């Protein structure tokens, strides 16, 4: 059981991360906390009572996370108030634990063993140095052949060129593979089937290092095997790990909404629905928007020409009742460039790259920046 009071631990001084501070004299509780720290890949600083500034690496104020055993609550009662304090106990029927949490300014009250997974995740965040989560954008076609994969690749390539940590995720197992579109189908690294058995937490750093690197970005795509589905739990774990690394994540989405795609939609910040400017495409996009909008609140229209008579980008957005992200420009020679290994958006001064750059500028400002 974990209860919220407030949250958000402070960053370590100078941006450096260290292990949590543990304060307890309960040897059984200490053994459990050390075990959970080991599972999260963190090395804690351990004290039986309130540490002085000279006692350890970070002390009370410098540690990114403080785990106070319920037995030690009285001994740290006079400590300076700070965020990132968790009061850890075992007696779920003890009503006094909440009073003690308030007395020491704890953000959370956690009872073992029920709260073990939550605590492992929180400790792992500390060990990994989690900051602002990645700005995560999903791209989906309003109809088949709308150009969603091309736009997703261009967005990721542009983000990487602007110096942001960038990950491109292929969530469409029947789409042919984004690594092919990027000219990297033979690049070394893991593909989706390797993560099919993932449960719980996936390390963000380990995920990033395991994936192919193409055009200065990491790519999670499908291989050419028979696997065309990954369990929703694995999709959730992998995308959460990707988001913890910061920067940007771009997801190329299929038009069908299954449990795995729903897990992706739940973690998106912004969705772009790519709609060719023709009436049948608008009608098809309306059905896609209805399904996607049940999960994703911020869905915007990216219109692709040429325009049918009586339509322009604003009219397409009006018909669909969604905000307009802009017009996705045609780029002469794009197919020829892709055949030669140049990905969409590679031409820095091309119209597609310009559209993507302007999109990121707006989106990052709206999100308050990216790590």
| Radius of gyration, alpha carbons of the chain | 24
Work out the percent of the chain whose per-residue pLDDT is above 90. Answer: 67
- Shared domain check, 233 and 84: no
Contact 260, 222 (CB under 8 A): no
- Shared domain check, 116 and 143: no
Contact 164, 249 (CB under 8 A): no
Within 10 angstroms of residue 92's Cβ, the number of other Cβ atoms is 10
- Shared domain check, 209 and 88: no
- Shared domain check, 60 and 147: no
Residue 31, pLDDT above cutoff 80 = yes
Contact 159, 357 (CB under 8 A): no
Task: Examine the fold and report which residue of 95, 128, 161 is the final residue of a domain before the chain moves on.
Answer: 128
Span 144-198, pLDDT tens digits: 999 999 999 999 999 999 999 999 999 998 888 899 889 898 999 999 999 988 8
Of 152, 225, 166, 159, which is closest to residue 192 (Cα–Cα)? 225
Of 89, 7, 12, 80, which is closest to residue 50 (Cα–Cα)? 80
CATH value at residue 204: 3.40.50.300
**What token pair was written down for 106?**
């704890």
Span 253-293, pLDDT tens digits: 999 999 999 999 999 999 999 999 999 999 999 999 999 99
Confidence band of 352 (pLDDT split at 50, 70, 90): very high
Query: In whole angstroms, what is the distance from residue 158 CA to residue 254 CA?
Result: 22
Residue 122, pLDDT above cutoff 90 = no
- Shared domain check, 186 and 55: no
- Shared domain check, 90 and 181: no
- Shared domain check, 19 and 113: yes
Residue 130, pLDDT above cutoff 70 = no
Span 48-84, pLDDT tens digits: 998 875 555 568 988 999 999 999 999 999 899 999 9
- Sheet containing 2-4: which strands, arranged edge to edge? 2-4, 108-111, 85-89, 66-69, 21-23, 45-47
Is the Cα dihedral 312, 315, 319, 324 positive or negative? Answer: positive
- Shared domain check, 285 and 355: yes
Task: Examine the fold and report which residue of 128, 157, 186 is the final residue of a domain before the chain moves on.
Answer: 128
Residue 27, pLDDT above cutoff 80 = yes
**What token pair was written down for 357?**
């750059």
Q: What is the per-residue pLDDT for 65?
A: 94
Please tell me what DSSP assigns to residue 256.
Answer: S
Q: What is the per-residue pLDDT for 333?
A: 64
Work out the percent of the chain whose per-residue pLDDT is above 70. Answer: 89
Task: Examine the fold and report which residue of 104, 128, 152 is the final residue of a domain before the chain moves on.
Answer: 128
Residue 370, pLDDT above cutoff 60 = no
SS3 303: strand
Q: Which regions of 135-264 does DSSP assign to beta strands (E)?
A: 135-141, 166-170, 213-214, 217-220, 248-253
Which residues constitute the domain of residue 63?
A: 2-128
- Shared domain check, 117 and 40: yes
Within 10 angstroms of residue 252's Cβ, the number of other Cβ atoms is 25
Q: What is the per-residue pLDDT for 174?
A: 86
**What is the pLDDT of the chain when averaged over all its residues?**
88
108-111 and 2-4: which strand pairing? antiparallel
pTM given for the model:
0.74
Q: What is the per-residue pLDDT for 151?
A: 97
Q: How many domains does the chain have?
A: 2
Residue 328, pLDDT above cutoff 50 = yes
- Shared domain check, 226 and 187: yes
- Shared domain check, 96 and 215: no
Residue 101, pLDDT above cutoff 70 = yes
- Shared domain check, 150 and 124: no
Query: In whole angstroms, what is the distance from residue 249 CA to residue 169 CA?
Result: 7
Residue 17, pLDDT above cutoff 80 = no
Range with lowest mean pLDDT among 3-7, 208-212, 246-250, 317-321: 3-7
Q: What is the per-residue pLDDT for 336?
A: 47
> Phi and psi for 167 in degrees, rounded to 5?
-130, 130
Confidence band of 334 (pLDDT split at 50, 70, 90): low
CATH value at residue 7: 3.40.50.2300
Q: What is the per-residue pLDDT for 55?
A: 55
Residue 14, pLDDT above cutoff 70 = no
Q: What is the per-residue pLDDT for 15?
A: 41
Q: What is the per-residue pLDDT for 6?
A: 31
What is the average per-residue pLDDT within 195-208?
A: 83
- Sheet containing 135-141: which strands, arranged edge to edge? 213-214, 217-220, 166-170, 248-253, 135-141, 270-276, 299-304, 324-328
């Amino acid at each position: 059981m974990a209860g919220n009071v407030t949250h958000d631990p402070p960053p370590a001084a100078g941006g450096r991360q260290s292990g949590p501070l543990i304060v307890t004299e309960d040897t059984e509780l200490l053994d459990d906390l050390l075990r959970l720290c080991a599972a999260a890949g963190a090395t804690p600083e351990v004290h039986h009572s309130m540490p002085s500034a000279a006692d350890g690496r970070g002390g009370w104020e410098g540690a990114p996370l403080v785990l106070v055993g319920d037995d030690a609550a009285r001994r740290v009662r006079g400590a300076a108030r700070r965020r990132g304090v968790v009061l850890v106990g075992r007696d779920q029927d003890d009503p006094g634990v909440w009073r003690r949490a308030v007395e020491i300014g704890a953000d959370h009250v956690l009872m073992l063993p029920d709260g073990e997974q939550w605590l492992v995740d929180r400790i792992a965040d500390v060990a990994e140095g989690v900051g602002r989560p990645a700005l995560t954008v999903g791209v989906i076609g309003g109809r088949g052949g709308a150009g969603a994969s091309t736009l997703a690749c261009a967005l990721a390539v542009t983000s990487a060129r602007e110096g942001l940590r960038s990950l491109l995720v292929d969530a469409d197992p029947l789409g042919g593979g984004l690594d092919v579109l990027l000219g990297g189908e033979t690049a070394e690294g893991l593909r989706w089937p390797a993560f099919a058995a993932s449960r719980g937490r996936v390390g963000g750093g380990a995920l990033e290092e395991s994936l192919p690197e193409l055009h200065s970005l990491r790519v999670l795509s499908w291989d050419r095997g028979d696997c065309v589905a990954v369990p929703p739990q694995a999709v959730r774990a992998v995308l959460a790990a990707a988001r913890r690394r910061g920067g940007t994540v771009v997801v190329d989405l299929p038009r069908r909404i299954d449990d795995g795609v729903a897990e992706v939609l739940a973690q998106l910040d912004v969705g772009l629905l790519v709609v060719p400017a023709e009436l049948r495409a608008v009608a098809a996009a309306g059905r896609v928007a209805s399904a996607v909008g049940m999960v994703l609140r911020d869905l915007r229209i990216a219109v692709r020409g040429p325009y049918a008579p009586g339509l322009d980008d604003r009219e397409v957005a009006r018909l669909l009742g969604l905000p307009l992200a802009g017009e996705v420009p045609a780029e002469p020679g794009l197919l020829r460039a892709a055949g030669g290994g140049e990905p969409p958006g590679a031409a820095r001064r091309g119209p597609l790259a310009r559209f993507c750059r302007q999109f990121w500028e707006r989106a990052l400002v709206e999100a308050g920046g990216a790590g």
